Amino acid sequence: MVSQNEVQITRYAESASMLRQARSYAQVRKWLNLGKKDGLYWGELPFVEKMGVSCWFSNEFTTGFCTCREKFPCSHLLGLMLLQLHQLEAFQSCTEYPSWLERKELPAEKKEPIVKNRRQETRFLLEMDGKRALERWIKDLIRGGLLQLPEKSPAFFEDMARRMVDAKCPGWAGMVRNFQKINYFESGVWQTSALEICVQIWLSIQAFEHTEKLPDSVKDQIYGLSGRIVRKQDLFDNPDTLRISDNWLVLGMIQDEEEEGLFRYRSWLHGTKTGKNALVLEYSTRFNPYVPAWKAGDVCSGMLAFYPSNWPYRAVFQSFQSCVPALAVSAAGFSDWKTAQQDWATQIALHPWLHDWPQIMQDVCPFGHETQRGLCDKDGYSWPLDAQFPENDWWQLMALTGSKAHTISLLRNNESVYPLGVWIRERYLPLKR
């Protein structure tokens, strides 16, 4: 049975890899000069870094110090704590402190408190539990082979998705639910989609496990991916928040039901001055409906605050001035699929889990026949439409364009595109309002 003290120590670890490293240090043979005096415990770890490190901590596990350069509390200090917890007899009683500790003279400012927000501690433990469960699940899925996926019942995926929600990881729950969106009757195609989801899940797990090695901006992105929520007020109060003022064209809006009783509203915005893309994401329930202040095709003047990430995309209005229909608005777009693909590759490199990236294509023509529908550029290259693109929207697109080349806004994925609207004589007409 795990003791309360061990639970307290493991909560100090920022990630699973740090905790695993700490446990590897919790061995007597790796330490020298283990000692104790007046409620303080210390030891020297000679075979790490170049000169080795020295650590000490108090008996209450609330203060400590390490000579390494890692972020405090480090894996060396946590390893020493775990060693004391399980092998107390390894620490020899001493009449005086070691010389390196005496040179520190134990000033109060060196006794760094290991204190974290209790809510954050609880969430971290839930996330780690969910990460381990998802890691086992995806490994078992790969070992069994992707060919078994069409035989899986919806409950197989929904049970794991709900498990992720319980673990405070709704982002991972959404990734698992993506398996249910695959058309398994599309022979030779669904395997690619399934493998892509598996890779994205595994990559996110590994990134989450090694967050302490990542820059803060990437770390924020990984935490957001798993589902950590930054409160709007905290976002507004943060002086480092990226803020952009512009006239934002609402390219399109889609509402869907993520799970029973929980609705998701996505609005894709495009800055008419800056060319910056943004996603405004809101959730609601039947008992607390969300009523957007705009509709597709409107131009909203205001300042967007972007959530922390090395790839700022999701945002929320910090200040909102006005919202009017887009009577005459122009937007620069890509001239062909080749340049659009280069943009997509750039975005994927920054955010490998990206879906539904908005792009504006100039001079593309919709085409369709019995087996395929898509958009063709001036050079004759085409890109297929998303299988989920509604039939009514397709015929509306054909009616607006007359099967001729127009500037069209769309959502881009690895395998398909999802049109949002079309420009007719410099006026933007969304397919959904």
Residue 339 has pLDDT above 90, yes or no: yes
More confident site: 325 or 357: 357
Contact yes or no for 300/269 (Cβ under 8 A):
yes
Write down the residue that tokens 């398909």 correspond to.
416
Which of 330, 265, 277, 273 has the alpha carbon at shortest distance from 301?
273
Topology alike, domains 230-325 and 337-426: yes
pLDDT at residue number 326:
74
pLDDT at residue number 10:
75
In percent, the amount of the chain with pLDDT more than 70 equals 91
* DSSP conformation class of 4: H
CA pair distance 371, 20, nearest whole angstrom: 52
Contact yes or no for 44/80 (Cβ under 8 A):
no
Domain segments of the chain as ranges: 4-113, 118-211, 230-325, 337-426
Contact yes or no for 46/103 (Cβ under 8 A):
no
Query: What token pair was written down for 412?
Result: 């881009």
Write the CATH number of the domain with boundaries 337-426. 2.40.50
Q: What are the φ and ψ backbone dihedral angles of 132, each rounded to 5 degrees?
A: -65, -40
Asked if omega into 150 is within 30° of 0 (cis), the reply is: no
Q: Left if phi > 0, otherwise alpha if psi is -120 to 50, otherwise beta: which for 354?
A: beta
In percent, the amount of the chain with pLDDT more than 90 equals 27
Which of 316, 331, 329 has the alpha carbon at shortest distance from 280?
316
* DSSP conformation class of 360: E
Query: What token pair was written down for 370?
Result: 């019995």
pLDDT at residue number 104:
38
Confidence of residue 116 (pLDDT cuts 50, 70, 90): very low
> Tens digit of pLDDT for each residue in 253-270?
988 887 777 788 999 999
Query: What token pair was written down for 278?
Result: 């943004």
Classify strands 53-58 and 40-45 as parallel, antiparallel or unpaired: antiparallel
> Tens digit of pLDDT for each residue in 18-74?
888 888 888 888 898 899 888 888 898 887 766 788 888 887 777 788 887 676 778
Contact yes or no for 54/101 (Cβ under 8 A):
yes
Neighbours of 51 (CB within 10 A): 9
pLDDT at residue number 105:
36
Strand partners, 93: 36
CA distances to 70, 228, 412, 416 from 314, in Å: 31, 13, 16, 22
CA pair distance 374, 334, nearest whole angstrom: 16
> Tens digit of pLDDT for each residue in 82-114?
898 888 888 989 888 877 664 333 333 333 334
Residue 1 has pLDDT above 50, yes or no: no
DSSP-assigned states of every residue in 214-259: S-HHHHHHHHHHHT----HHHHHH-TT-EEEEEEEEEEEEEEEEEE
Chain mean position to CA 148:
28
Q: 230-325: what CATH class?
A: mainly beta
